Amino acid sequence: MKNSRPYQQKGEQVIKGTAGWVGDQVRICKLCGDTSIETVATIRLDHGSVACDDSKLLSEWVADGIKGRPGQPRVFPKDGQPFLDELPYVYRYTYLWAEPVDEESQ
């Protein structure tokens, strides 16, 4: 079975904020008015490069990058894993958030 968290050893506790903590896939979700949850976009590492099923979002990120945690540099899709690791810090609102995609939930 593929290790979705390449910076972590199998069975090792994953610590939020460490390199590779989100694994190789993140999804951006939104809470709809009827309390259902909709996946807005899925972002994944594809041979070290970031791929996204929402081309508009990807274009924005390529142009502007994202800035998540204080003290961390702006990151871009070309940065690969560090970009995925910052998404949950950028999208962390009650109605719109980013979360790692676990192998079990796919």
Measured in whole angstroms, the distance separating CA 17 from the mean position of its chain's CA atoms is: 12
Locate the domains of the chain by residue range.
25-105
pLDDT at 16: 77
In eight-state DSSP terms, residue 75 is B
Q: Which residue has the higher pLDDT, 92 or 15?
A: 92
Please give the full DSSP string across 58-72, using - where no structure is assigned: HHHHHHH-B--STTS
Query: Cα–Cα distance between 54 and 10 in angstroms, integer?
Result: 31
Query: Cα–Cα distance between 100 and 92 in angstroms, integer?
Result: 12
pLDDT at 13: 62
Q: Which token pair is 49? A: 């490069």
Query: pTM of the prediction?
Result: 0.82
Q: Tens digit of pLDDT for each residue in 4-57?
A: 444 444 455 667 778 789 999 999 999 999 889 999 999 999 988 899 999 999
Instruction: Give the pLDDT band (50/70/90) at residue 3.
Output: very low
Q: Tens digit of pLDDT for each residue in 66-78?
A: 998 999 899 999 9
Query: Cα–Cα distance between 104 and 106 in angstroms, integer?
Result: 6
